[in-house]
Amino acid sequence: MPALFNQITFIGIGLIGSSIARVIKQNKLTDKLVAFDTNTHNNNMALELGIIDEKADNLIDAVKDADLIMICTPVKTYKNIATAIAPHLKEGVIISDVGSVKSSVIKEIEPLLPPTAHFVPGHPIAGTEKSGPESGFAELFTGRWFIFTPTKNTSLEALDKVSKIWESAGMQITKMPAEHHDKIMAAVSHLPHLIAYTIVGTADDLRDEELSEVIKYSAGGFRDFTRIAGSDPIMWRDIFLSNKDAILEVLQRFNEDLIALQRAIRWDDGETLEKLFTRTRKIRKEIIDAGQHQPENEKILLSQQTKKD
């Protein structure tokens, strides 16, 4: 198969950017792979690891010859990036992204791009709590879902080309309106992160001695929350601020449910507790049946084992 693109440029080459860049390299989907990251460590490391062919010194050099630009930075940076690159784009360039929030992003950057550029908003539902190109790996996406949230201007042909990249990473592809994406992600990803950050923060407020005990005994359950509460702070700050309405709504529902449970505990209502705990067990089973239960680092272990067998 000939390369899909002459030049792909990554703006931001952290965990997600470097992981999909690895897939692109392995499958020879572009003749040339360029990256620009304001974090020079990321830029240098990506080049050193052989994930990219070239690092650019500035945004304009990075994008001017690109056929595909992949924005892999925190969502609140998009506006500045779009403003800076808009006058320097090749005609027919495709601009895609991996941001966890879609409506606000589309609203912000679509009007800034020239009509000859094709914007293809997307979001791979995969990740780990780690950051930086040294933490990325090609298997990150295997078996997970990629969601496109095309706008009324999105070219189907451009979407198909970007889609081939994520398919080659082993992802299942789906499409939905940006608003629906943001609502589902508020429940499935943003609320869990918010809760995890809260509970870990609550523990961090304990006296030093108690905190050291919490860490010692974290296998009791606390540990499960710290994984996602170890995610990139800037990225998540931006997500919460960019999907505010959907998050505040689902948070309200969570609060009501938590208060109901609190009341059941206070009034020794074992029946209510048992009923809920039986329902939630069923959902865990459904997630296992859907093959979505394995953390990414466990997937690596498994794939290494299979290679040995």
Q: Which residues in the 156-175 window bind a copy of itself by CB under 8 A? A: none
Q: What residues numbered 256-285 form the site for a copy of itself, per CB under 8 A?
A: 257-258, 261-262, 265-266, 268, 270, 273-274, 276-285
Kindly tell me which of 83 and 292 has the beta carbon lying closer to a copy of itself.
292
Q: Among 193, 207, 208, 249, which residue interacts with a copy of itself (rule: CB under 8 A)?
A: 193
Residues 6+ away with beta carbon under 8 Å from 160: none
Angstrom distance (rounded) from CA 92 to CA 106: 18
Kindly tell me which of 28 and 285 has the beta carbon lying closer to a copy of itself.
285
Kindly tell me which of 48 and 204 has the beta carbon lying closer to a copy of itself.
204
Q: Among 47, 79, 244, 249, which residue interacts with a copy of itself (rule: CB under 8 A)?
A: 244
What is the SS3 assignment for 79?
helix
Report the DSSP beta bridge partners of residue 11: 36, 71
Contact present, 176 and 205 (Cβ < 8 Å): no
Q: What residues numbered 19-78 form the site for a copy of itself, per CB under 8 A?
A: none
Kindly tell me which of 1 and 283 has the beta carbon lying closer to a copy of itself.
283
Q: Among 27, 39, 135, 226, which residue interacts with a copy of itself (rule: CB under 8 A)?
A: 226
Dihedral (CA of 40, 44, 45, 47) sign:
positive
Q: Among 28, 41, 107, 223, which residue interacts with a copy of itself (rule: CB under 8 A)?
A: 223
In degrees and rounded to multiples of 5, residue 117 shows phi and psi of -95, 145
Angstrom distance (rounded) from CA 283 to CA 265: 23
In degrees and rounded to multiples of 5, residue 50 shows phi and psi of 75, 20
Q: Rounded to the nearest whole angstrom, what is the least distance from the CB of residue 248 to a copy of itself in the complex?
A: 6
